[in-house]
Each structure stands twice: as structure tokens, then as C-alpha cells.
Structure 1
Amino acid sequence: MKKWSVVFGVLAFIPAAWAGPVLRWDGTETIPQFRRFDAAGKQDQAVPAAVRDAETGRFRYVFDGRSLLAASYKLNGAQTLRVQVRFKAPPQGVLLARNRPAEGVRGFEFGFSGRHHSDFRGSSPAGFISDGYARGIVGILGTGIECRPGVRYEYIVRFEPGKFCAVTVIDRSSGEIVYGGSVPCPAVGALAEKAGNRLLCVGGRRSHSRLCEYLVPEGTEIFGITVWDRALTIPELRRELGLPEGSAVKEHPAAVRFVDPVSGDDANAGISPEKPFRSIGRAVAAAAPGDTVKLAPGIYFEQVNILKGGTPEAPLTIQGDPAAPGKVIVTGAVREIREGKVKWKLEDEQARIYSVPLAERPVRVLYDGVNLPAGDTLKSLREMMTTGEPRMPLPFHGHYYDAESKKLYVRLHIGGKYGSRDPNEHVMSVASRCWAGGFNGRAGYQPKDSNFFVKTGDRAGLVIDGITFETPGTAAVVAVRSGGIVVRNCVFSGCRWAVAGSGTDDVFVENCLYQLKDLWGEAKELIGKRKPDPQDPAWYSKWQWLPKHVSDYTKSHETGVFLNAGKRWHLRNSIIENAFDGLSCFSMDRAEDTQIYGNRFEKLLDNAIEVENHAKNVRIYNNVFIDMPDPISDQPLGGLPWPGPVFVYRNIFYENPESKEVRTVRSHGAFKFGANWLNWERIREMGNGAPDAETRTRISKRFLFAPYPGFLVFNNTIDLPDHCLINRVQRRYMEFVNFRFFNNIISCREILWETPGYQGLLEFFNNLEVAPKENGVIAGAGGKKLASLDGTVFDRPGDRRYELRRDSAAAGLGTLLIGEIDASEDAGAVSRGQRWSAGEGPGKAPEPARLSPFARKVLYEPALVRAAGPVAGRWGVYAPEERFRIAVPAGTVPESGTVEIIFRAAAFGETEVLAGCGDFSLTVAGDGAGRTVTASGGVALPAGTDRESWRTLTLKLDGRNASLALDGAPARRLPSRPAAGETIFVNVGRNPVFDVLISETPGVL
């Protein structure tokens, strides 16, 4: 220990406040900052010596393959590390490390790998960073990027605490970026104080005091080592590397990998349509970040494992045909049956029941895409009735699996509704079993539960586009600890769930179609042809819950688009129809920061969106809900914490006349609210098994409470005159607390089912009410009651667009006092002068280039996502209240880039700082007509308004100038701007920032 203190006590860094590098060796004859360690961990006391390079005349250090260099290193925050290196042998090993493989002292390692970010035996750039512990490791791997011997590379690592870690490899001779990748690391706020025992190693890693390993090969040369105490900007790195200002640095070219299930061969190179791969899995294995795997039309009987993906800057794309849904099908169906190679045997001529041999119980059976519901016995299939008591009618077609005889029986629609009753004349898609365990088959995923199984171990950086997924065991896409996924322009047919997650955040499902054809139609037909049971008004849909003895894992159609959503999942611009639920409780149980917008939910048997049991911070906006009993449900069954907060705004609810047959057999509402007594009976912390009648419980039974700011329903148009507003599913003595309705147009029969003249704790303000059994309660303070939604409200009554007349009774009726930035003073979903538009499904994306969070010109952070849509500026944004950092362009040429920061000025009273950097600031202050935006140097713009709560501001920065514009008016040049190359801090809370757009920016290093 004494020897270490003597040697390294003099090697502590220059203070971090210095503007220049904190460590630099630029090819001098000795390397005084470092000492040499051999593979056994023994330190050489001599100062390492370099040799003269014949090309440059400068000195270089040559590794012997049996040792590394190490220096004292105490930098824990932002930093940039750079090594110029040339390999004699194929690159491998650790190049930069401050790490020990023990808890509390882990840090970072970067070098070259082949299979994993911490297995340094390959030629692909790779590495990881950690907060000191294994659970905090964030890895990066340049899969498919092979660095070569004999090439001089600049290897650069940049770390911005809590933001990102980036690796860039540049061919020094050509200036080409060989690899540029980054990963977000929000949980790594700093390196651990004792990471790597405060040693920076170059050329290998020091695993412990007696072992140095992953040493670079013999003959490896380094020409310079530099460390800065900040994450350098691109212009700064250009200057440091000696590249000309504004030079066009080439990106690594992205490739297209072609796949054809008929003409392809996995022995091909797959780089042309003429010689494609045969399997998707082979193409994915060959692809690198930024590549596209292009699928030819056809049917792929394949379960694909995706163990490496792309990056946010260069995602891996798997693309079918986005414009023609159904041309590219990835199916989990039994191939021999789907292709008709196995013939169906007629077992019962009178009932027209057929069978085929089948080894295991299927989770779904389709014929020509139509779902065949499961019966509990062969007798039930013959009689179209359940066998258990009480007996209930089944749909007019179905399937039954007999586990003893290993046979699958089917009976196609008895009326020939979908064509021939002979399955040999249809495409029969018979799924495999469900392998996942847990209630309803939703836990412990395996690859065979999916069509695509994603397990990259970190950010997946994956886009899945234009594919029809069919009959997987659990979900079309299963992602395990692999966030950053976009699923776009896809169709989900016979899929229990579309996308399932486990430890997975930041998933986008957009412009998709999710359906279970023809579930809604079967219920409607049952009601029309069978006598309803007055004692059980929901009897028509109970067949969707199979008796438990049939299959504990697959007994329900209560599924949805998501399964086990994590943080920041988005469902947008999609169609969800002909199913039981859109997003069930299994979808949203522990979801957090979820956004659901621009979708059309139609013809569902239960709910469109269930926020139970514990969903947190859910935003539901710009959707249309058509023909379903209770579109939005808050019915927790898992105890505390209750769901919330929940924000429901700018949605349209209505019902077509033909849906009344379904609705009339049960209670119904625009919303379903209630805490069932099972919360107290099942959960010890709630009530310790208290029965329904017992109210003396630890957690009060009197209230369902929505966490602050609450369950907020505002600026919606609810046109459901035969519904109640809320279908109450809790005891009448229980109340709803912190549930608030304001700025809505509401046409309904009454607030609660069969409870006219409501008096309770629900809050109503500034609504337009049409409710014959209520007397202004829904209208609330500042609201208005009408007898009907006649021609005084909407511009074209009856067209279902619900656009307001200029002199509408809803105009100016709303309030902005509650402080929701997305609220409008016009009541209803569509303000005056605005047009209504919802998602149209696959191949019909509004502004398709802007929809993906990976779009090059839109800054993507999980905390800040622009929701571009057909109604510009009306989609709203939610983000945590934190400051976001953006590099200010440097230089004086256009290639240096511009930054546009678009704000939504909505401060209430006190001054709010929109952006700041040193002496530069941009602020908004004041209310109403007196609102003003002020920039450093005295430029002030009046931003007042007497109607809407916000104005659009655009701050534009380039290498020389700064300007500010209000609502698209000519920009005013600002006399001061942040210094070139500095970092500007931007508030990205909901109030006040709306959007951040990056234009013509240079690539990310």
C-alpha cells in the first residue's frame, strides 16, 4: 500500500475547472502520467518509453501483448476520453477501462468485442458504463462493424451523467466515422467514487491486484491519449482531431438485407434481391445498426430471436410492406395445417364437426382470419352451449381440443356466415400452445411465446414496419429488457397481445390494426338469436372466459395491444376493433407515463382502456371511441396504489344505432369507475380479509381516490344519450374523490346508472350538459345545460366530426383556471376552426417521417417525445419537469447546423425561465392579454391571448445568430446568444415547453 501512495500520489489530475484537457499525452518520448503493469498485476516503476514513428516523426507506444498502462484517475462526472490506436493483429481487447468486477467499484470498459458488450474478444466497438453496481450496467455494442488491423483509428468515449454514453470510432486517414453509437444512461448520474480503484487503464483491464486481462494484441500502437472533464461537442471534437471546420464526415453506410421465404437461401450474402436470405433470423444476425432487413411478400413460418439491435441514431429496421398490409405474414401457426397438407376429417356429419391430430392445446384457431372461440367439451361444440352450470350459449362456431385423444375439433359457422363449413376449403391458422405461465398466460416469457422475441440486454433500437403477425403463443413481439422499440404499420391477427414487455420501457405502437375478428359480431348475433338472461345481463360475452379447468394459461380474450407495459409506452394513430378490450388491466397494470392518442377504438365488448390496477400518469387524448359498453375503466382489483393521475382530453365518444342490441343487455357508461370489495378481502394491507359488509378496515372503504392532480376529464365530446356517464362498479355508499370533469360536451342519460339527481363528490365545472335526468349538476359552475345537441352547437350536426359553429353554445364556455396546458376555452374535443382527425391504421400515417422517435431531425429522449399528428400543435406533450441540455452550434458555416426550440408559452402569473445559458435567458411572464416573452438584450414579444392558454415561440440558433418568432410571424434577431459550443438548458416540463426540433445538425459523435 505504501508503494502505491508514493507512485500515484503525484499523478492526481489537474483540477477539473481547467478549460483544457485534464490529461494529455501527444506522442512525446515518455509517458510520465502512466505506469506499466504486467498480466500478473506487477507494476514496473520505470516511466513507460515510446518509440519514434517513421511516418510522423512523433513517438508511439507499442504494447507487448503481456501488459497495460495505468494512471491515477479521479474523474467521476462528465468526461471525454480519446485514444489514437493502430492494431497489428485483428483488433480485440480492452482499450480504456476504469473498472473492477466487484460491487461498488464497477465503472467503465471500452474496446472491441464480438458477441457481448463485456466480452472483449472480437473486432466490433463495444463497452459498458455503470454507477458502480451490476444492476446499473449500460452496454453498447457495434454489431456488424469490424475494425481492421493496419488502420489508425481515433477511439472516443463521451459520458454525460444521467444522459448518455457514446462511442465513436473514426478512420484517421479518411475521416470516415466507422462507428458512432450512443446509449441513454439516465440511472448513471456519476461514476462510483472508487470505481476501478481510481485507476485508468489503457490497453487492457485490471480485474484485481494480481490479474490484468483482455490485453490488446502484441504490436498494438497508440499515438495519443487525451481526457477532458466534459462531454465535448461535435465542433470541439473536430477541432481536437484536426478535421477541418464544417468538413463532411462520412457516416458508416447503412445496408439492406433482403429476405425471401421462397427463393432465398441462408447461404447467400443477402445483400441483393436476386440473392436474398431465406429466413428473417439469418438477416437479423447479419445486420448492423442502421441497416434494414427487407422482407419480400410471402408467409414466414418462423419464430425470430433478435438478440442485437440498433441505436436511437441508427435503428435496425425489419420492414415488410407498410403500404400493403397482409402481403408479408409472420405466423406462429402449424405449417402443415395452414398450408393444407394435413386434411381435416369429418367426425360428425350432422353437426359438421371436423378434426385433425394436434400435439398440444392451441391458444387461438382462425379460419380465413376469423376467430374460432373455444368450447369446454366436445358436447358443448355440438350443442353450442357451455356444459357447466349455469349453461350459457356459445357463438355459432368454435373449436375444442381433446387432450386425451390429441385431436383438435372445429365447427365452422352453422349458417355459413364466412363461407363453406368445410375447413379444408379455408386457410386454417392453428396456433401453438401458450408457454408463458401465470394467470392468463402472461409471465415468464420464452422465445416460442412470440413471433419476434427481442432480448438485446439494453436499448434495442429496433423498428418493425409493415408486417402482419398471426397466432403467436402470447404476443407478436415479446421484448425482455430491451427498450426503444417502434412497431409500425402492422396488423395483429389472432394475437392475444400485440407487444409484451418485461423490464422494457419506451415502446411505440403506431399506425397498426389490432383485431380479433369477429368477436363483436358474434356477440351481436348471439343477442339477436338467443333469449337474454335477465339475471345475468353480460351472459353474451362470458364465453370469452373459458372455465379454468380447460386452460389456466389461456382462458380469456381479455387481452389487448400491450401486455405488461413499462414506462413511456405509446399507442398512437392505430385502429383497435372487433375485440374484447383494447388495453386491458393486464396491459396497464404497472404502466407509467403512458400516452394513448390518435387512435380509433371501435366495436369492443368491454373496455377500450383499463388503467387498473396501478397505472401511473396516463394520458389519453385525441382518440375516438365508437360502439362499446364502457370505453375507459378505472376499476382496480389490486389494492393500493390506486391508478392515477389520469388525463382524458380531446376525445370523441359516440354510438351507432346498430350497437344498441349489444348495449341494451347490460349497464353502460362512458366511464367505468369503482373499487371492488375484493381489494380489501384479498390484500392484507388493505383490509386483512374483511368481507364485503365489513367497513372497519385499515384503508377506508368509503373512497376510490385518484392520486393528484387526479382523474381529469376535460375538453371531450361525449355523445352517448342512452348511456350513463359513469358505470359505477362499487357499493353505493362509496364515493369517488379527485375525479374532475371540465370543459366537456356531455350528452348522456344521467351521471350514475339508475341514480338520478346525483349528489356526491364528483366535481363538474364549465361543461355543456344534455342529460334529461340531471338538473345542471354535470354543467357545474360556469357551465350550461341544453335540452339537446341541436344545430346551435356543431357546424354539421350528425356527421360525427363534432366541429363547433363559430357561434356555438360551447364556444368560450371552458375554463383555464385548473391549469391544464392542453385545455381549451371552447368546450368539447374540437375547438372552433379546428378539424377532427383520428388514426387510419396501417399504411396511412399522418406525417410518417415525423412519427418515429428515431426520425433524424426530431430530438428523441424518452422524457420528451413530440406527438406529431394531422392537427398540428394540438396533440400535446407530457414530460417530467426537468431541464434538458442541447449543444449550441459552433462555427460560421451552414454545415455547423441550426437548432430550433419550439415552446408553448403558458406561464400563469410568475416568471418562468424557458431557456438559459450563462448570461443568456428566455423568459415568459404574466397572465392573459398581459403575457410577455423576453430574451436577453431587451427583446420582448407580446404573447398575450384572451382565449387559448398558449402561444407558440420559436428560438432559432445557428453558428452566428439567434432569433425569436411568435406564432410563425417574421423572426426578430436577438442581440445576444449563448456562446458557440456551449450547452443551453431548456425546461421540458409540460409548462412551458411544447417541442424541441433539431434541423441540419451534424451527426452525433
Structure 2
Amino acid sequence: MSRLSTITLGLCLALAIPGQGATYYVNVNKGGPSSDGLSPERAYATIQEAAKKVAPGDTILVAEGVYYGPIELKIAGTAEKPITIRAQNRARNAVIITNADRGIREGKTKWTLVDESLGLYKAFLERPTCRVLYSGTDLQPYANLEGLKTFTTVNGYPGPQHGYYYDAGAQLLYVRLNASGKYGSANPADHIMSAGSASGNGSAANLYNGPTFFNLGLMGTGPLHVIVDGFTFETPGYAGVFVNGDEVTVRHSWFVGCRGGVSGRKESPEATETSNHVTVEFCDYHQFPAFDDAVELIKAHGKMTEKLQFPAYWWSRKGNGATNLKTYETGICNLVGSNWIVRNNRIHDAFEGLSTWTVRWSKNMDIYANRFERLVDNAVEAEDHAANMRVHDNLILNVTEPFSWQPLGGTPWPGPVYIYRNMVRSDFAYNRLMVENANWTPGWFKAGASRENWESKWNSHMKDAPRDVVRSPGDGVVVFNNTIFFPGGNFLTYVQPPDRKLDNFWFYNNISVAQGFSRQGDFDATTIHFSHNLWAFLPASDDRGAVFAGEGGAVIAESAEALSKKMEGDAFMRGRLWADHAGTGVSQAKAVDAKAESINWVGANSGAGDWKEPVVGPQP
């Protein structure tokens, strides 16, 4: 780690030290009802007991152990004296807050072998579930028992080789664990089995509907000034942390079996109705092994010969696996309001990083210094009505289509959206796997407004709206100074009719390594603005690399194999690879910070210097 990174990290950790105030101790293994919580020896048994005593500036220090939720708290500090709820040990699974069924998790509820040839087991479970883990490994939900027996999704497509089904009538949970041994034994009795309760309203079941929605709920209203630090959140109905008010920071935490990490209270265009000024930092969010399951499906089934209603059959966790209540099209946040900051997180092995359900009515959202890795769909979706979003200085690795602007809610269209100084890499082998085996050529930028924006029942306000041009508001969509290594894919996935134009989209000072401009070759790109971009690798017959390069740009003709060799390992972050073009960028009035306004280079690197990888995830 560089000296600058060490200093930055030290400052961030220093902020976690609470102000002068009392410390109340909690220990689920030693606490008792006669305790006062003022020392480890006299610790409370529950976080709720300690919360009854805290005042602004106080800290609740939670010892290692498993704390069963949901935990509802009504506490509030002040800007000068926040209340801190801190785990004594930030390591994963050291201090766990879980909504998992206690009998199953602690092994008191016994598993019965139903079919030895299938490795099919069952156990009693009183209430429905939407997430099941075995020793931290996520199980694919199946819609019925026959689907689980055959690993077939609700629409008849192949599914991953492990999963569960819940029979609500019989109150039985059926599971099949992966038989290969790579995730351990195929017998659930040999694992910690975590089955969280089903929760959530709305079409994506992401709207708050009661305490089972979360592990930890901060239920106060108005400014809360609460810091949550260092916990492992496990199998809630939806979110690890639910924020009903404003001014909350969640840091150094792990989200395991969580549909969402941190959720606001509701989605609304009105800031008075949303949760605002929330920071999510140095956290780890995953749905492991969602990415590996998708890759294995593609390798096993390739280009399916039968005609499919939904060609992306490997998206089994999007909802076609077992209904929207169990959809994985979520992300580290949910129901974002105004002025959320998402920084220095590791978001990996999931379906999405930040989905449309995350950011739909977000305002002034700042997403930076994160590591997005091994995601089945997108890293960031700027949809449906996100306003003034900034996505910058992130490291994005092996994400199928990193950026998406694909609204489904009609006007107001998302914007302005600023995407800059990101470093993006997709391995050539992963890009080619999609192209050769899944009949899909991904693009690193997906954009367009489909007919649902005018024809869906929830878009009645669009009935008579024009369809010929879709214009992002304000400065528009401004994509600049990114380095994109996407050698087996395209620049653009165009998800609207070719005669519908995108307007107020700007691409400048980017480096794009891609095999082609777009697989949709018959649309008019003249209303999209390109300048001073560097384009590397494209077939000799394709002249659209020059379109992307734009005025003042350049095209470098190198093979994908040569570029892959040149950019092995972390070489794609090294400025010297593009040193000859370091001064060929252009400053733009649409830049969003002082540093951006003075840019005169191409790509994410500062001139010929190396790009600094962000520090991410929970820190000791």
C-alpha cells in the first residue's frame, strides 16, 4: 500500500473513534438482566438493552457472538456527538446479526434425507424464506419441488446445480447442496444452514413492510447521526441495515445472504419522504456464488438450440428462477434518497452492484473508490430517474456490462450522470465465453429507452409523449477519462429501436479497447457526441472505431491477443502503456470537479502516471 493510501485509510479509521461519551457493553454469551452495561464484566445481553441507555456521543460495543434479529432501535445522536454501534471485532462472522431460523441455524432442527440419489433433504421451517445459505454459500431458489429435483427454473430453463424450495403448505424447506464437493459436504447437517424470512412489498419485493425486512432497523425519524461499524449481517428479509431517518453511516460491515445491504425507507421524487445523507463505506457485499453459477451454466449449455422467451437463460437469479420475491437484481443499497455516498466497498460475486431498485429516485449520489468484481449484469445502473449521479475512480473487473442507462419509468429521464476516471477490465476469455457460448456480445455501456417507457401501465403519463428522441436532462450523460479494457466485447449495447435517437450523451478522453462499436449496427449515432477518445482494436472492416475516437481522437490497430498480452495482470492500470497519448485529451465545461476541469490526458490515469487502486472492504 502506498504512503498516501495508508494516510487516507488512517484518517478514515480515525473517524470511527467515537467522541467522549459513555461506552455500553453487550455480550450475548455473558450478559444478564441485572447488568448495567458499563463494563465487559457487566455487559448487557442484547443491543436493545444498551440502546435504551445511550445518549449522544455514547458507544455500544458488541462482543463476538450471534445476535438474532430483527433488532429495532430508536436512537439519535447529534452532528457533533453521533451514537456509535460498533462490533468489538470487524472480522467476517465475528459479530453476526441474523434473521435466520434459530432452530435450523443452531442444528436443533434435524434434516431428513428424502432422496439419496439426488442428495435431497428436507427440514421443518415455520415461515417462508427468500434466502438460504450453507456455510455462507448462497442457494438458488426454485419455484417448485420438481424444479429443484431437476434443477429447472420456473420458465423451463436450466438452473445451477444447488438450490432450495420452500413448501408453504407443508412448512418444509427442501435443499440440494452442490454434489461436487467444492463448497463442502452435500449434507446440510454438516453446515451452518441460514434460512432468512421472506419479506418486502412491491413488484421487486424491495419495499419496507415490517421488521423482518431488516437485521438492524434504525427507526427514528429526522437526523439520526448514528454510525454502524463492523458487523456481519446475515439473511434478513431484504436489507442488513434499514435507515428510516437521515444522517447515518454504515462502515466496515459484511452483507451475507442480504438481498440489499443498506436500505432507505421508501422511494419517492420528494426528498422529504426519503432517507437522505447516508454513507456506506468500507463494506463487503456479495451473493456468492452467483457469478460462478452463471458461468457454469453457460459452459454447460452454451447456445441453447430451442427458441427461448428470455435468451439470457443464465440469469436464473434475476427472478425467472422462482418469482420476484427472490430476485437478485438488487445491490449493496436499496431505496436511495438524496446525498448518499457509496465508497471504498468491495461489491462482488453478485448479480448487480447497484441496480435500478437501488437508485431509482436517487439525487446527488456519489459512487467512488469501490471495487466491483464478478457481477452477472451491471456494476451501476443509472435508472429510472437518477439525478446528478457521479460514478468515478472505481475499479471494475469482469462485470458483464459495467454501466447501464436503461430507464423503464418514462420521464424524467435519468440525468445528469457523470462517469469518469474509472478503470474497467474484462478478461478476453470471459468476453469470448459470452459471445461464443451464450449468443451474446456484451457492451461496456448499455443505453436506451425501450417501448415499456410509453406502453407499460405504470407509465400512463407517457401516453402521448414523443418517442423519436430520448434526451438526458441537464448536462446529460457525460462519460470521460475512463480506461476500458473490454477486448472480447463492444462499446455499446443499444436497447431501443434504431430510429429512436439518444441525445445529450457525451464521450471524451476515454480509452476503449473493444472488438466493435455495437452489435446493433443500424442505428444513427450522430446525436451522440464523441471527441478525443483513444480506440484500440477493431476488425479492419469496421470503421466505427473512428466514430468513437471522434474529433482529436485516435485509433490504434492492434489485435485482441496483443493487447491482452500487453495488459496482463495489473498492467492495464499503468500509465506508461498510453504515454504517447497522455497530452491529447481536452478540457470540457461539463466537468464536475476542479480536477476534472483541468484534464488534458486520455484515460483514467493522471497523464503517464499509474492509476491508484482503491482500498476497499472492511478494515481491521
Give the TM-score, by structure 1 length.
0.55
- Secondary structure of the residue aligned to 2:130 is coil
The structure carrying a bigger helix percent of its residues is 2
Q: Does 1:404 align with 2:174?
A: no
Q: 1:495 aligns with which of 236, 248, 258?
A: 258
Map Cα deviations across residues 439-459 of structure 1 (whole Å, 9 max, x no partner): 121224322211111121211
8 Å contact from structure 2 (residues 537, 559) kept in 1: no
Would the alpha carbon gap of residues 590 and 275 (structure 1) be closer, same or farther in structure 2, given more than 3 Å must change? same
Distance 1:620 1:266 in 2: 48
How far 1:800 sits from its partner (Å)? Answer: 3.9
Distance 2:380 2:577 in 1: 33
Would the alpha carbon gap of residues 650 and 257 (structure 1) be closer, same or farther in structure 2, given more than 3 Å must change? same
Partner amino acid, structure 2, of 1:492:
F
- Secondary structure of the residue aligned to 2:29 is coil
Residue in 1 that maps onto 2:447: 673
How far 1:802 sits from its partner (Å)? Answer: 2.1
Distance 1:346 1:615 in 2: 49
Map Cα deviations across residues 13-47 of structure 1 (whole Å, 9 max, x no partner): xxxxxxxxxxxxxxxxxxxxxxxxxxxxxxxxxxx
Residue in 2 that maps onto 1:764: 530
How far 1:365 sits from its partner (Å)? Answer: 0.3
Distance 2:578 2:31 in 1: 64
How far 1:376 sits from its partner (Å)? Answer: 1.2
Partner amino acid, structure 2, of 1:490:
S
8 Å contact from structure 1 (residues 599, 838) kept in 2: no
Would the alpha carbon gap of residues 625 and 571 (structure 1) be closer, same or farther in structure 2, given more than 3 Å must change? same
Map Cα deviations across residues 266-293 of structure 1 (whole Å, 9 max, x no partner): 4201111111111011112211111111
Q: Does 1:383 align with 2:150?
A: yes
Distance 1:794 1:412 in 2: 37
Would the alpha carbon gap of residues 253 and 466 (structure 1) be closer, same or farther in structure 2, given more than 3 Å must change? closer
Q: Does 1:275 align with 2:50?
A: no
Would the alpha carbon gap of residues 789 and 647 (structure 1) be closer, same or farther in structure 2, given more than 3 Å must change? farther
Would the alpha carbon gap of residues 724 and 794 (structure 1) be closer, same or farther in structure 2, given more than 3 Å must change? closer
Q: 1:717 aligns with which of 472, 483, 489?
A: 483
Distance 1:452 1:483 in 2: 15
Residue in 2 that maps onto 1:88: none
Partner amino acid, structure 2, of 1:624:
L
Distance 2:451 2:389 in 1: 24
How far 1:484 sits from its partner (Å)? Answer: 0.7
Residue in 2 that maps onto 1:785: 555
Q: 2:228 aligns with which of 461, 464, 468?
A: 464
Distance 1:734 1:418 in 2: 47
Map Cα deviations across residues 560-617 of structure 1 (whole Å, 9 max, x no partner): 1111100001110111001111111100110000000000111111111111110000
Map Cα deviations across residues 23-75 of structure 1 (whole Å, 9 max, x no partner): xxxxxxxxxxxxxxxxxxxxxxxxxxxxxxxxxxxxxxxxxxxxxxxxxxxxx
Q: Does 1:639 align with 2:403?
A: no
8 Å contact from structure 1 (residues 792, 808) kept in 2: no
Q: 1:519 aligns with which of 290, 298, 307?
A: 290
Residue in 2 that maps onto 1:422: 187
Partner amino acid, structure 2, of 1:751:
F
8 Å contact from structure 2 (residues 384, 409) kept in 1: yes
Distance 1:413 1:630 in 2: 28
8 Å contact from structure 1 (residues 629, 667) kept in 2: no
Aligned-pair Cα RMSD in Å: 2.4
- Secondary structure of the residue aligned to 1:524 is helix
- Secondary structure of the residue aligned to 1:460 is strand
- Secondary structure of the residue aligned to 1:722 is strand
Map Cα deviations across residues 178-230 of structure 1 (whole Å, 9 max, x no partner): xxxxxxxxxxxxxxxxxxxxxxxxxxxxxxxxxxxxxxxxxxxxxxxxxxxxx
Superposition map of 1:958-973 within 5 A = none
Q: Does 1:838 align with 2:593?
A: no
How far 1:414 sits from its partner (Å)? Answer: 2.7
8 Å contact from structure 1 (residues 618, 645) kept in 2: yes
8 Å contact from structure 1 (residues 322, 843) kept in 2: no
How far 1:814 sits from its partner (Å)? Answer: 0.8
Q: 742-751 or 590-599: which moved more?
A: 742-751
Query: Which blocks of at least 5 consecutive residues in structure 1 are unaligned?
Result: 1-250, 689-697, 846-1005
8 Å contact from structure 1 (residues 299, 331) kept in 2: yes
Residue in 1 that maps onto 2:246: 483
Residue in 1 that maps onto 2:513: 747
Q: 1:663 aligns with which of 425, 429, 434?
A: 434
Map Cα deviations across residues 495-518 of structure 1 (whole Å, 9 max, x no partner): 000111122100100011000010
Q: Does 1:361 align with 2:128?
A: yes
Distance 1:787 1:679 in 2: 39
Map Cα deviations across residues 305-361 of structure 1 (whole Å, 9 max, x no partner): 120121121111111146523211111101111111111111112111111111221
How far 1:657 sits from its partner (Å)? Answer: 4.3
- Secondary structure of the residue aligned to 2:549 is coil
Q: Percent identity?
A: 34
How far 1:839 sits from its partner (Å)? Answer: 3.5
Q: 1:451 aligns with which of 215, 218, 223?
A: 215
Residue in 2 that maps onto 1:969: none
8 Å contact from structure 2 (residues 493, 520) kept in 1: no
Larger Rg computed on CA atoms: 1
Distance 1:620 1:284 in 2: 36
How far 1:474 sits from its partner (Å)? Answer: 1.4
Distance 1:470 1:818 in 2: 45
Distance 1:722 1:674 in 2: 22
Residue in 2 that maps onto 1:310: 77
Q: Does 1:328 align with 2:133?
A: no
Partner amino acid, structure 1, of 2:261:
A
Map Cα deviations across residues 963-1004 of structure 1 (whole Å, 9 max, x no partner): xxxxxxxxxxxxxxxxxxxxxxxxxxxxxxxxxxxxxxxxxx
Distance 2:276 2:525 in 1: 42
- Secondary structure of the residue aligned to 1:364 is strand
Partner amino acid, structure 1, of 2:161:
F
Would the alpha carbon gap of residues 745 and 617 (structure 1) be closer, same or farther in structure 2, given more than 3 Å must change? same
Distance 2:523 2:408 in 1: 29
How far 1:631 sits from its partner (Å)? Answer: 0.9
Q: 2:56 aligns with which of 279, 285, 289?
A: 289
Distance 1:795 1:661 in 2: 16
Q: 1:562 aligns with which of 309, 320, 333?
A: 333
Q: Does 1:337 align with 2:104?
A: yes
Would the alpha carbon gap of residues 300 and 750 (structure 1) be closer, same or farther in structure 2, given more than 3 Å must change? same
Q: How many residues end up aligned between the 2 structures?
A: 579
Distance 2:231 2:429 in 1: 32
Distance 2:474 2:368 in 1: 22
- Secondary structure of the residue aligned to 1:571 is strand
How far 1:796 sits from its partner (Å)? Answer: 7.7
Kindly indicate whether structure 1 or structure 2 has the higher relative contact order, using CA contacts under 8 Å at least 6 residues apart: 2
Partner amino acid, structure 2, of 1:486:
T
Q: Does 1:699 align with 2:462?
A: no
8 Å contact from structure 1 (residues 711, 738) kept in 2: yes
Distance 1:658 1:286 in 2: 56
Distance 1:624 1:630 in 2: 14
How far 1:662 sits from its partner (Å)? Answer: 5.0
Partner amino acid, structure 2, of 1:603:
R
8 Å contact from structure 2 (residues 447, 494) kept in 1: yes
Q: Does 1:541 align with 2:320?
A: no
Partner amino acid, structure 2, of 1:288:
A
Q: Does 1:431 align with 2:196?
A: yes
Distance 1:279 1:470 in 2: 17
Distance 2:384 2:149 in 1: 38
Partner amino acid, structure 2, of 1:776:
A
Would the alpha carbon gap of residues 775 and 628 (structure 1) be closer, same or farther in structure 2, given more than 3 Å must change? closer
8 Å contact from structure 2 (residues 487, 564) kept in 1: no
Query: Which blocks of at least 5 consecutive residues in structure 2 are unaligned?
Result: 1-17, 266-273
Q: 1:577 aligns with which of 331, 340, 348?
A: 348
Q: Does 1:803 align with 2:574?
A: yes
Distance 1:444 1:328 in 2: 25
Give the TM-score, by structure 2 length.
0.89
How far 1:372 sits from its partner (Å)? Answer: 0.7
How far 1:790 sits from its partner (Å)? Answer: 10
Partner amino acid, structure 1, of 2:551:
A
Would the alpha carbon gap of residues 368 and 442 (structure 1) be closer, same or farther in structure 2, given more than 3 Å must change? same
